[in-house]
Amino acid sequence: MESGGGGIRFEDLDLIYMIPFDLGGPVKIEDIVEWLFSSKLVKKGGRLRRYEDRLAMLKLIDLNMTITDPRFSYLRELGCNLYLILHAAGIAVVTVWIHLSADLSTDDVIKIEENLYNASCIIKGPFGEIEERLDNFIDGIIRPLQFVVVFGREYGSFDKVADALTKDHIIASKIEEKLRSSDSHIYRVVCIINHRCQDGCMTAEDVVKGHLKEMAGILTLYGNWRHYRMDTAKEILGENLSRDASYAIFMTTDASLFIGSTVFDERPESIRDAKIEYLKAGATLVAAMEFLQLSRMFLEVYISVYQRKSEEFWRRWERGESVRPSEVMEMRKELMYGLEEYNNISFYAEHPYIGIIEYGKERLGLSNKVNVLISGLQELSDMARTFYEEEALRNQENLSKMQVEFSKIQVVLAFFFGIFGAFQAMEYLEPKLGPLYAAILTSAIFLPCLIYIFYLFIKGRKSSS
Ligand SMILES: [Zn+2]
């Protein structure tokens, strides 16, 4: 533990890691839940919260971690809860909730939030005891789920899939190729319930005023926070999202922060009530961030699918292969579905989160990602039209070739009918007028016909050349 950090110390805090990931394709929530129950990852009667058949949250097992990493040996034993949010579009978030009750400086908090996830430790759970880093342990939950969705259910049980994955690294790398997006950006939430300050900061308001750089450091995981300029730190913090003066909430692209007050205001009857109040407010932030991380992953998956597919379309088109407009429109439909589902996610978010979620959409750049998808819709429409016109042009070429063939037939037919018509006329006129007058009259009647035949012949030659 270090003593540096502007005199403020943190005593009672929660560190939450969120790991959003792609499952590789749409899923049936019941199937995944069934799979998880077949694993040792959900307790019997494990809590499942269903928002509807598109979205569910599952409480996974509780863990105990003994930290063996020398950097964090002072943390010793830590309790850890795991949760999983599942969306039927095949997007999920694992939440790892760790409680820390140590006497920590700002520098300690930054180091812990950055590296505890990959610190060596002994993890104890219903499965027994294993020596494993937390990140590898979480991978051991995520990978089998992706495997089941991507390669089907042929392995029969969660444990068999997990076994196959640890034995065969080739399979593991194959999953990576099959995912719509392999990006997994870890997000952190720090909830500080209790702090102590030599400068006499009591309320969350005091802390924000007196320790702006420390707060900015925690929010950006930046060890050199002392070098921040004040206005930079202020800019990093952004808006205070708390509606209550007794606590503060800030959000950046890397992490979010909740800070309570040392002197609890008079509204809660006792300190215990105040703590419950803070834990509830902290949990509100965590729930909102889970929705935002799910939404972010959602948009990234659909952007990645769209970009890959539209590049493939253009490549095929440039090579002169045919791209059917219906293929493009199918892709557009998938994108529309993605956008619709994305909009639905916020509906599940309950009232107290809405303010945080709306702010987060801007701060985390989700609105920009939505715009990428909306212009994607437009691009796909344009692309479909280009391919359609291309196809129409090709059809038209075929049509004019057919027209040429048709005029040749016309010439031949007209010629035969003309000749036969003339013979018939001669046969009919000769007994009445004699051969000379019959020939003159027949020529007078059939000359325009011959000229027309000649005209069709010329036209046919012109259009075939
Ligand atoms: Zn202070």
Q: What is the predicted pLDDT for the residue at 1?
A: 46
Length of the chain in residues, anyone? 465
Q: What is the CA(100)–ligand 1 centre distance, in A? A: 21
**CA distances from residue 129 to 68, 123, 334 in whole angstroms, order as listed:** 14, 6, 44
Residue 226 shares a structural domain with residue 101: yes
Kindly state whether residue 3 falls inside one of the protein's structural domains: no
Tell me, in angstroms, the distance from the centre of ligand 1 to residue 194's CA.
Answer: 13
Position 407 scores a pLDDT of 66
| Strands of 382-441, DSSP E | none
Q: Are 81 and 16 in contact (CB under 8 A)?
A: no
Which of helix, strand or coil describes residue 257?
A: strand
> How many angstroms is it from 442 CA to the middle of ligand 1?
119
Mean pLDDT of 7-30: 93
Q: Are residues 26 and 170 in the same domain?
A: yes
Give a three-class secondary structure readout of 1-34: CCCCCCCEEEEEEEEEEEEEEECCCCCCHHHHHH
In a domain, 354, yes or no: yes
Q: Do 170 and 302 belong together in one domain?
A: no
In a shared domain, residues 234 and 380: no
- For ligand 1, the distance from its centroid to the CA atom of residue 195, given in whole angstroms, is 9
Within this chain, do residues 102 and 250 fall inside the same structural domain, yes or no?
A: yes
pLDDT for 134-165, tens place per residue? 999 999 899 888 988 887 766 766 677 777 77
In a domain, residue 2? The reply is no
259 belongs to a structural domain: yes
**What range defines the domain where residue 304 resides?**
290-465
Residues 315 and 265 in one domain: no
Among candidate residues 287, 307, 325, the one where a domain is terminated? 287
Residues 214 and 317 in one domain: no
Q: What is the pLDDT of residues 408-451, one digit of tens each?
A: 666 666 666 666 666 677 777 777 777 778 777 777 777 776 67
Total domains in the fold of the chain: 2
Could you tell me if 253 and 301 lie in one domain? no
pLDDT in tens, 354-402: 889 999 999 999 999 999 999 999 999 998 888 888 778 877 777 777 7
Residues with CB under 5 A from ligand 1 (ion): 8, 197, 199, 201, 210
Answer with the one of 252, 287, 322 that is the final residue of a domain: 287
Query: Cα of 106 to ligand 1 centre, how many Å?
Result: 12
Question: φ, ψ for residue 386 (rounded to 5)?
Answer: -60, -50
Q: How close is the Cα of 196 to the center of ligand 1, in Å?
A: 8
- Are 163 and 139 members of one domain? yes
Region 2-12: mean pLDDT is 70
Check whether residue 89 and residue 203 sit in a common domain.
Answer: yes
Average pLDDT of every residue of the chain: 85
74 and 222 housed in the same domain: yes
197 alpha carbon – ligand 1 mean position (Å): 5
